[in-house]
Amino acid sequence: FSFLLSFFELKMAEAGAADAPVDRTVLADAMKTMNEWSRFAIFDDAGNVIASTFTVDPSDAQRWLHAWDERDITVGEGLQLDGQLFDVHRWCDTVIYGRRGDAGEGEGFCLAKIVNELTKKNLFAIISFGYPMLTARAVPLLQDFMKKYVAKLT
């Protein structure tokens, strides 16, 4: 089914390459379309939650902000998300991702950051997802979402 466009991709195609600023209502509506993600939170560079589909533990948000500080620590310790410890498999400039459990019972996560075009400050998002969503699909979708909505957030 990889040749089928997701609802999100269809919405992006309909919207075209519009550079209009995005307000929180538009952001919340766009988040609702991402129903393959079990958890989804967007937060600023102080750890303040902008929008979320779950209750974010403030101490987790603070740790997520520092996930890019030291690769060996982040990969070695993993990341907490909603009371679950996730192994970190990949640490890049703008995304960190991994999973917990196994293929049948596991869950993946992706932590991403992007510079907001208006404020020039970093904004962040974290998602989690289960099968049949795969990391190879979830990470690019989150990156596209960040470019389309979070980078333009007012």
- The single-letter code of the amino acid at 122 is N
Least confident window among 66-80, 97-111, 140-154: 97-111
Question: Given a cut of 90, is residue 3 above it in pLDDT?
Answer: no
For 5-42, the pLDDT digits (tens) are: 555 555 554 444 457 899 999 999 999 999 999 999 99
- Of 14-28, 62-76, 101-115, the poorest mean pLDDT is in 14-28
Query: Given the DSSP bridges, would you call strands 95-100 and 84-91 parallel, antiparallel or unpaired?
Result: antiparallel
What does the pLDDT average to over 124-138?
94
Q: List beta partners, residue 95.
A: 112
- pTM of the predicted model as reported, rounded to 2 decimal places: 0.86
Q: How far apart are CA 48 and CA 57, in angstroms?
A: 11
Using the structure block, give the residue that is written with the tokens 């740790």: 63
Residue 127 and residue 150 in contact, taking contact as beta carbons nearer than 8 Å: no
The confidence band for 105, taking pLDDT boundaries of 50, 70 and 90, is confident
How far apart, in whole angstroms, are the C-alpha atoms of residue 34 and residue 142?
Answer: 9
